[in-house]
Structure 1
Amino acid sequence: MPDSEFLLEVRCEEIPARMLEPAIRQLASRLFEQLLASNVAPGEVQTGFTPRRLMVLLKGVPEREPDRAEVKMGPPVAAAFDQAGKPTAAATGFAKKCGIRVEDLERVENEKGEYVVAEHKIEGRPTIDVLSQVVPQILRDLDWAKTMRWGSGDGPWVRPVHSLIALFGGNVVPFELFGVTSGDSTAGHPVLSPQDFAVKGGSDYRRKMSRRGIEVRFEARKKKLLEQMNEAADGLGGELVEDAALLAKLASICGIPGVIVGRFDPTFLTLPREVLITSLRDHQSAFTLESDGKLLSCFLTVMDRPDDPAGSVQAGNEWVVEARLADAKFFYEEDKKTSLADRRAGLDQLVFHARLGSYADKTARITQLSEVLCQALGWEKEQEAVAQAAELLKLDLTTEMVKEFTSLQGVMGGIYAREEGLPEPVWQAIYDQYLPASTDDPIPRSPEGQLTAIADRVDTLVGIFGLGLIPTGSRDPFGLRRAAQAVVRILLEGDLSIDLDLVAAQAVLLYGDRLEKSGEEILTSLRPFFHDRVRYLLGLEGYDYDSIEAALAVGSSSLPDLRSRVDALHSVRQESDFLAVVLAAKRIANIIKEAPEQTLREDLLKEEAEKNLYRASRQLRSEIEAAEAAGDYESGFRHIAEFADVLDDFFVKVLVMDENRDLRFNRIALLQSIHRTISRAARLTEIVVDKAELRGRNTDMQVD
């Protein structure tokens, strides 16, 4: 069956940049799913968009659905044919209903007996008919943050639709949507090339768009834009201050990328670097330039056309930038008239959460929790700086600059603290308090910053969990998953041995009677929540899921210690002796799982193999304790691996479930003792073993 391509383009009024990528992903995904359901899935999916168009090109699409057989169940054979084998009225009626001859009825047997069936061949529909049915429904059902109606009530959709290209194998897929009939025509840029033109397929579409200067492919347009911006920056003697999100946004708001070079009054360079960059980015979607680490008094942004011959676009952007920077300078200078410490009263007016109090309340809790963390870590010299940072942590929320640029919260507090001459650990802790906000961000640079960031997030997690507002599915309005992940990252990367249960329990106490859940309920919910973040982050580092589970299963009051155990497991888990012990551990666990705790008596060890096992287990316990005391978990696991032969010998030569009750209980006691010893650092039964990995060892040891 030959394959064809399907080209779909929706041309409309300008779609907000933030909606474009989600929309095209959604459109392509739903098209693929619908065609897959009809057994005409494409071999390749290409997408593209500009502010005024969405495009999907499906290649390798079968021209029609495959034929299929539909089987209808009829009456039992005993009712369909008489004793002479002649069809009864039941058989003839069923055949007539199915549109076939009685002679074409077939027999099948199932658990209920023998029945007659009619097999009906259903011819597959032409794919163009499938597309004609599903495409308008897919477009109509796309999810948008906001929609509108226009004209005589067309819509709702994100923006008014002007034209629809729908071509399958060069033929128009007929349908009507939002008052527009599908066809083979579109138009170029609304100002530079507004004339309609027809296309024959995907290659022709791209060629004719390119001729009009339009690059529909987003990644190609982004690459072209970056090249243009780097070239412009070189001409100005600088380079771009990197911002991947801003580049993606700029590439989304133009179909024909053209770079605007703008300049502003150099006196604005006295503003903090962060303020200048943020003002240009947030208000004007503009890149800042720098040279040798110093900002330049110019900026780059885009226009949806290749040039600006009259210079009016440049002049307009420069006028707006000057006004915005003047505002920023005013806010900055006004803020500096009041010190951070003198802003404390303002926190009483800022609500953290209606049921959890103000930011003044939160600050008091963070300060106390930070003190607890210092004590837990044995920090004395850092305690003063931690306390000062905690008290000042949220005060920049009262500043005009943060009200104008919410993305600068924390950063502005750090800048103001630095300008007031506060110690470096203090201002850095304030500056870095929201790090890491994503997996790409670093953790706070100073120990004091790491500690206050943990206290802040644990306070939030305990408070929101204490109200029963636990994230479900994709909903996480308070960013609790991100907060928990940040805590785990800081503990791991900062090498901080802090018991999260202890910290959370202290945070519960600091809330007093504000929480609706009990402390035990909160801790029971938080523990697996943190563990999920541990699994995710250690998984990113390349550790096997079962090694992580094995270490988590025995618990840990220290995440750096947990990772050390996972890392040690990772180093030894492929060795055949260690895997043999893992298999033995699974067998031991099955033997002892329902047995009450027994007392081991050395005088009841009768067989030489069990005596050897007892002596070896005592030596192993001493070796593991010494290795763990030195933090050398790999050595401990290797000692466990050396235990493989004596375990093998025991299970081959000794019957654990001896008829003699005393011997049986004593051997169970021995295995209970061994299980405790080899499960100190990790629950080995969580490790998944492929018997092929044992490489020649005795594999007769079955898991009972």
Structure 2
Amino acid sequence: MTTQNLLVELFVEELPPKALQKLGNAFANVLFDQLKVRGLTAADSVVTFFASPRRLAAHVTNVLERAADKDVLVKLMPVAVAIKDGKPTDALRKKLANEGRAHLADLWPNAVDGPDSLVVQSDGKADAVYLRGIAIGGTLQVGLEFALNEAIAKLPIPKVMSYQLETDCELPGWTSVNFVRPAHGLVALHGSTVVAVKALGLTAGNSTQGHRFEAVVSPVVLQDADSYAATLRKDGAVIASFAERKAEIARQLAAAAAKVGNGARPIEDEALLDEVTALVERPNVVICQFEEQFLGVPQECLILTMKANQKYFPLLDAAGKLTNKFLVVSNISPEDTIFVTGGNERVVRPRLADAKFFFDQDRKKTLASRVEGLGKVVYHNKLGTQGERVERVRAIAKAIASQLGDAQLVQDADLAAQLAKTDLVTDMVGEFPELQGIMGGYYALNDGLGETVANAIEDHYKPRFAGDALPRNTAGVVVALADKLETLVGMFGIGNLPTGDRDPFALRRHALGVIRMLVEKDLPLDLNALLAGAVPAFGDKITDASAQLADFIYDRLAGSLREQGYSAQEVDAVLALRPQRLALVEKQLAAVRAFAALPESPALAAANKRVGNILKKAEVEGPVDAHVNPELLQEKAEQDLFAALQRFVPEANAQFDAGDYTASLQTLAVLRAPVDAFFDDVMVNAEQLDVRMNRLGLLKMLHNAMNRVADLSRLAV
């Protein structure tokens, strides 16, 4: 059966830019999947999505005009129900009538009529009557209409709007339609043939609209499915492909920056590039500039206002410093761009003036003078104000700093913790919340507090996201740790935990931030002590949920380690011991991986699991001491195991204490032979109590020695 390529386009009013790429992908993929389910695509069919501000489209290769017929086998009912005394029952006749095959009952037992027949075969439990026939393949028109409506219904629409269409009936009226934006046109071409499908009150044709102002013709008539993109570009002045439009914008941005010279480059922001791609159909990049006086404002403020409010691309110099030039991606291409340039320069000027005004006003008050104002800002109804929160962070920071450094570190960390949140009550952060921390750093320098404190204030939110940099100095690490611990301990202490995909206080991100700082900064801090040490700062506002919080942190650590390529077994073996120094976990994992590669590993892991089970049962009656009386060792195998432990465990312990975990485990690998012999020749549960307890003590000694780096039983298959 011959195939042709298919093109479907939905022409609408301007779509939400931040969702456009997702909408385009979803529209094309659901449409393709539904066509595939209905047998209308070939094995090598490929779908390509198009998305511009005013259209969603999909191009599918090798689409059938009608799906192939296929054999079907429908189970009707068990034979015991269908046939009685050799004749069809009323139940079978009724079922066949529902299937449109009532006459087959009269032909029993030779119920064959052309391609239709009744057959008896087992369903795996008992014999049943089946209807065998041929399902006629559906037409493209029917299948496409269903697929199109499914694609529309399953779009990940951020917010649905309702609009009304005039009805086609004789009595005038209106019908309501729910969609992301009002739809005005529908195209469906199978090769060059229009497929007359309907959706959203529209009937498909072969014409669409081009650029609002620069289309060569209107409407744009499409000759066939394959000429869609080329025709829209030529006659409609529209680049329909999201990917091509994005690449063209990136090319023009680079060319415009090169034209400016002096190593200028547009700021890198993938999200901004995607959003601008979703705002224009025919991109044209122009160079604009603003007055140099605004460069006295922190560049983060200027960059943010240009990006967030105007969708401009600020230009940085070779050193990464903001210049007074910026790039605008226009949706029109006039011969003279002076009006485009002038208009955008006029629009950005008051934005920058506002930023300068906020910056100048904020600097009139010191950060220290703003501390009192935090007492009027509610943080959480169960945890009090931001002022109370600051005092908790200070207490936690002092405790951490005293473990990591001298009095100067304690002083710097305390001052930074006291002032870290004060920029929340500044005009600049009130206007641009994204600048919290950053502006605090600038204002600290303005107050003469020095780089150490300023950097700590700026960095205390770090890491803000996966891959973000960590705080630059130790004071910053201390305050960042204290800030995240305050959030985690406080929220867990009031039972405000993340559930499913809901995590309004970003507790997962905070936990990963704590992990990263402890690991990457190699901090000599024990996790349990760190969590428990933060609890007293809350007084009676919370209950102590340190154990639950520790589990949460270990879960995040386990996920992070698996993402780094460690196996679930390796991670489970190390984290089963709940290591307190998280900075050492990767060394432990490396040791476990090296141990697992040894030929002795499987036998020792299995033996370790067996030992653990024996001790667990024995300790139900009381604790087992890792103590051995050599005089009670009766069998040669237990004597040999004790001798091996006496010889090799001190060496392994010394290597462990020196941090050489790999060597420690490899030293213990020699225990395989005496361990195997012990289990072959010795009965642990001897009748004599002193002999039994002595053997359990020997196993406890072995268990303690083998499981200092990791729980090796977790490696057993």
User: TM-score, normalised on structure 1?
Assistant: 0.89
Please list the CA deviations of residues 318-339 of structure 1 after superposition, one character each: whole Å capped at 9, or x if unmatched.
0011111111111111111101
Whole-Å separation in 2 of the counterparts to 1:51 and 1:79? 59
For 1:541-560, list aligned pairs within 5 A: 541-560=564-583
Question: 2:138 aligns to what?
Answer: 125
* 1:69 equivalent in alignment to 2:96: no
Aligned mate of 1:564, from 566, 587, 590: 587
SS at match of 2:491: helix
Which residue, 303, 311, 317 being the options, matches 2:344?
A: 317
- 1:282 alignment partner AA: A
TM alignment of 1:168-567, pairs within 5 A? 168=190, 171-193=193-215, 195-199=218-222, 202-211=225-234, 212-237=236-261, 238-293=264-319, 294-307=321-334, 309-377=336-404, 379-515=406-542, 518-519=543-544, 522-567=545-590
Partners of 1:6 and 1:421 lie apart in 2 by 67
Question: Counterpart of 2:31 in structure 1: which amino acid?
Answer: L
1:213 deviates by 4.1
Would the aligned equivalents of 2:481 and 2:514 in 1 still touch at CA under 8 Å?
A: yes
Q: 1:178 to 1:116 in 2, by over 3 A?
A: closer
The CA distance in 2 between the partners of 1:200 and 1:688, in whole Å, is 66
User: Which moved further from structure 2: 29-38 or 123-132?
Assistant: 29-38
Deviation digits for residues 474-524 of structure 1 (CA, Å, limit 9, x no counterpart): 222222222222221122111123233333333333223333xx31xx234
What are the Cα deviations for residues 363-404 of structure 1, in whole angstroms up to 9, with x where unaligned? 111000101212343554311100010000000011111111
Q: CA deviation at 1:214?
A: 2.6
Deviation at 1:285, TM superposition (A): 1.4
SS, match of residue 326 in structure 2: strand
- Given that 2:265 and 2:316 are in contact with CA atoms closer than 8 Å, whether structure 1 keeps it comes out as yes
C-alpha distance in structure 2 between counterparts of 1:665 and 1:119, whole Å: 72
Size of the alignment, in residue pairs? 682
Deviation at 1:179, TM superposition (A): 2.4
Q: What's the CA shift string for 1:450-493, capped at 9, x where partnerless?
A: 11111111211222233322112222222222222222112211
| Residues 206-237 of structure 1: per-residue CA shift (max 9 Å, x gap) | 22123244323323322221111111111111
CA gap of 1:249–1:659, structure 2 versus 1, over 3 A, is same
Q: How many angstroms apart in 2 are the aligned matches of 1:466 and 1:9?
A: 53
Instruction: Kindly report which structure 2 residues correspond to 1:74-89, keeping only aligned pairs within 5 A, or say none.
Output: 74-77=77-80, 80=83, 82=85, 86-87=86-87, 89=89
Alpha-carbon distance between aligned partners in 2 of 1:454 and 1:32, rounded to the nearest angstrom: 49
Q: Residue in 2 aligned with 1:15?
A: 15
- Does residue 150 of structure 2 align to residue 137 of structure 1? yes
Deviation at 1:91, TM superposition (A): 8.8
Match status 1:30 vs 2:30: yes
Per-residue CA deviations over 1:580-610 (Å, capped at 9, x if unaligned) read 3223323333444423354544333233222
* 1:589/1:65 CA distance change after superposition, 3 Å: farther
- 1:585 pairs with 2:608: yes
Aligned residue number for residue 115 of structure 2: none
Unaligned runs of 5+ in 1: 690-704
Q: Residue 36 of structure 1: CA displacement?
A: 5.6
Which piece of structure 1 moves more, 90-99 or 603-612?
A: 90-99
- Residue of structure 2 in register with 1:699 after alignment: none
Tell me whether 1:623 sits opposite 2:651 in the alignment: yes
Percent of pairs with identical residues: 33
Task: Specify whether residues 17 and 629 from structure 1 end up closer, same or farther in structure 2 by C-alpha distance, changes over 3 A only.
Answer: same
TM-score (norm 2): 0.88
Tell me by how many angstroms 1:157 deviates.
1.6
In the alignment, which residue of structure 2 is the partner of 1:57? 59
Structure 1 position 647 matched with structure 2 position 649: no
CA distance in 1, matches of 2:150, 2:306: 41
Contact in 1 for aligned 2:76/2:95 (Cα 8 Å): no
* Letter of the 2:639 counterpart: K
SS in 2 for 1:643: helix
Residue 681 (1) aligns with residue 681 (2): no
The answer for the alignment partner of 1:45 in structure 2 is: 47
Closer, same or farther in 2 for the Cα pair 1:23/1:507, shift >3 Å?
farther
Contact 2:79 2:120 in 1 (8 A): no
The alpha-carbon distance between structure 1 residues 31 and 464, as it changes in their structure 2 partners (threshold 3 A), is farther
- 1:162 is paired with a residue whose SS is strand
**How far did residue 526 of structure 1 move?**
1.8
Conserved in 2, the CA contact under 8 Å of 1:394 and 1:410? Answer: yes
Amino acid at match of 2:138: R
Distance 1:456 1:603, change over 3 A: same
Residue 396 of structure 2 aligns to a residue whose secondary structure is: helix
Matched residue SS, 1:262: strand
Q: 2:537 is aligned with what amino acid?
A: L
Secondary structure (helix, strand or coil) at the match of 2:530 reads helix
Q: Is the 8 A contact 2:489 2:535 kept in 1?
A: yes
| 2:638 equivalent to 1:610 | yes
Q: 1:282 to 1:525 in 2, by over 3 A?
A: same
